[in-house]
A and B are shown apart, each in its own frame.
Chain A
Amino acid sequence: MYDFNFAPVLAAFDQLAIGAWLTVRLSCAAMLIGLVVSIFCAWGKTSGPKILRAVIDGYIEIIRNTPFLVQIFFIYFGMPSLGLRLSPNSAALLALVVNFGAYGTEIIRAGIESIHKGQVEAGWALGLKRAQIFRYIIMKPALRTVYPALTSQFIYLMLNTSVVSVISADDLTAAGNDLQSATFASFEVYITVTLIYLALSVGFSALFYAIEKMAFKYPLSR
């Protein structure tokens, strides 16, 4: 019978906590920057010039049909030959942003397309400026419509950050790897790390639910 030994894992729990904190920061930063990328690409896809649409389409298809692990290898190991040398953490952030941007674009585009054309025309008729129409008439209700899809994409992004440990970014999984090689208590270490991830995704789901209740309080239709 195997003797489980959680003592060394619990003794080094602060290391795991530091890693978890980087995972949280990395995920949030990637989400925020990725959202900006997504909104820009969604705008480009719905109302940009033809060539921009083609470029964005290519970007989305390539990212969505290749593994994140290969994308991160390409960015971390391949980019230096183009003169872009990044630290592991920056490469991880860049890869996550690029990855999230592709999925986010499709989500936000679906939201934008759910806005009825009459709404925009009503905005023009009221004399709103282009930027105002985009912000108040398109983006605000669109974001509300796609909020659930965006939040589950965020959870997916956060779980995906575990992969960045392979380029030795120091996230939660990497902290687990270090602890594993120091203690050889592989199973105990990884079950603890897994439970932390589970707690993070449950926690974020609860947080997003609370935000939804607060931010989208106004009634949906009159």
Chain B
Amino acid sequence: MIRVFGWNEFLIIVVAAQWTIALSAIAFAGGSVGGLLMALMRVSEVRAFRRFATGFIRLFQGTPLLMQLFLVYFGMNIVGFAINPWIAAAVALALHASAFLGEIWRGCIEAVPKGQREAATALGLRYYHSMRHVILPQAIRIAVAPTVGFLVQLIKGTSLASIIGFTELTRQGQIINNATFSPFLVFGTVAAIYFLLCWPLSLVARRMETRFSRATAR
């Protein structure tokens, strides 16, 4: 018996978007902490830190997100945790986001004119205070637009969590499609929901970018 794709099926898919949003939010939160750490290590004066962060970023930017998900998923078992798609997806996406945000934010920190750091040192500020009160507040202004841009990439990335069995928007679409067999409608709906989530963010990122480049153009 094939179910017909009607209101209920549509609503089930729409409701599943909450898991996509939740996973994106968790990955973004985790990625922000990791990304800040990576960015600071990347511009650190300690060579071992710089090397570690560079290696971490290269590794995650040079391998597919799907493999990162698989490795965390199957790796959990090896480290002694029970396999859990929720945790595996959140951890893998957070690590992925750490690498990408680390690289983006490193660029933003380096874009702050060198004289600012020197002035902070001249005023007698130590590392923590010069970062906290001088460098980072300026870097954050540069970072907002590319960070929002990456958030779009991260939301799209959460769709891969469906492959390790995490039921979010895409997986729910697959389940409904298996019952109704109207792939055109189902995946059209799924795509439309992703579009509604991502497009406003893309527009905001683009607008901020133009405004910023206009404000800084001399």
Contacts and interface: CB of A to CB of B under 8 A. Distances in A.
Interface string B59-78: 10011111110110011011
Contacts of A190: 67, 70-71, 74
A77 B187 CA distance: 9
Given A61-B199, A198-B59, A78 B67 contact: no
Contacts of B177: 73, 77
A202 B159 contact: no
Contact of B184 (A68, A82, A160): A82
B174 interface: yes
Nearest to A204: B62
A170 to B, nearest CB: 15
Q: Is the interface of B mostly helix, strand, loop or mixed?
A: helix
A159 to B, nearest CB: 4
B119 interface: no
Contacts of A186: 70, 74
Contacts of A159: 62-65
Given A62-B195, A73-B173, A190-B71, A163 B160 contact: yes
B113 interface: no
Interface residues of B, number: 38
A218 interface: no
A85 interface: no
Interface string B170-206: 1001100100001110011011001100110010000
Given A2-B78, A155-B62, A163-B66, 14 more contacts: A62-B195, A66-B194, A69-B163, A69-B170, A70-B190, A77-B177, A78-B183, A82-B184, A159-B64, A186-B74, A187-B75, A187-B78, A191-B71, A197-B64
30 contacts: A2-B78, A64-B202, A65-B195, A66-B195, A66-B198, A67-B156, A67-B159, A68-B156, A70-B170, A70-B173, A70-B191, A73-B177, A73-B183, A73-B187, A73-B190, A74-B187, A78-B183, A78-B187, A162-B64, A162-B66, A166-B163, A173-B64, A173-B66, A186-B70, A187-B77, A190-B74, A197-B62, A197-B63, A198-B63, A202-B62
Interface of A: 2, 61-62, 64-71, 73-74, 77-78, 80-82, 155, 159-163, 165-166, 173, 186-187, 190-191, 193-194, 197-198, 201-202
